Homo-oligomer: A and B are copies of this chain.
Amino acid sequence: MPYRPFEGQHCSIARTLAIVGERWTLLVLREVLLGRRHYAEIRRETGVATNILADRLETMVQHGILEVDADGAYRATPKGLDLQPVLIALMEWGDAHAGEPPPRVLVHTRCGHDTRPEYRCSHCGEPVPPQELRARPGPGATEQMRAAGVLPAG
């Protein structure tokens, strides 16, 4: 079942959610990134219904997020790995606000330490607290968005 696009949204957030915002999709991707590459394994780890699992895997393959080899093992493509920040952001919010101790902790293998990745500005390298971000109309902005000009982003 394809996720119905958000009609009239000119927004990269909406475009991403139209592909991966369906219930379970990101949790299935999480399993693949955790190294569970086979249908039965993902099914066992998540308890997701078989028809839903099959649909979500197929959707991600169709969109080039996952690829499947001759043995039926799923692997994230570079496009799929680019979704890891979405999972990190969701995980960190849950760690901070879900009121339960973190089930998993990320480790940065290069430095060997536990890590809670934080967003830094691609230009100056400093943290980007919400209050320091604005959204300006980009090359894909509509006339209405251009007229609205620069908006706060936090």
Please name all residues of chain B whose beta carbon is closer than 8 Å to the beta carbon of A134 when the two chains form the complex: 106-107, 109
- Given known pairs A110-B124, A128-B108, the reply for A103 and B10 (CB within 8 Å) is yes
List A residues 83-109 near B (Cβ within 8 Å): 83-98, 100-109
User: Among the listed B86, B88, B105, B107, which residue makes an inter-chain contact with A93, where contact means beta carbons less than 8 Å apart?
Assistant: B86
| New A-B pairs, 8, CB < 8 Å, besides A12-B98, A35-B152 | A9-B47, A12-B91, A14-B94, A33-B154, A83-B89, A85-B89, A103-B141, A104-B137
Q: How many copies does the complex hold?
A: 2
Interface residues on A, range: 35 or more
Given A11-B30, A103-B145, the answer on whether A108 and B84 have CB atoms closer than 8 Å is: no
Known contacts A6-B27, A84-B154; is-contact A123 B133 (Cβ 8 Å)? no
- In the assembled complex, the Cα of A100 lies from the Cα of B150 at a distance in Å of 20
CA of A103 to CA of B136, assembled, Å: 9
Q: List chain B residues, Cβ under 8 A from A152.
A: 33-35
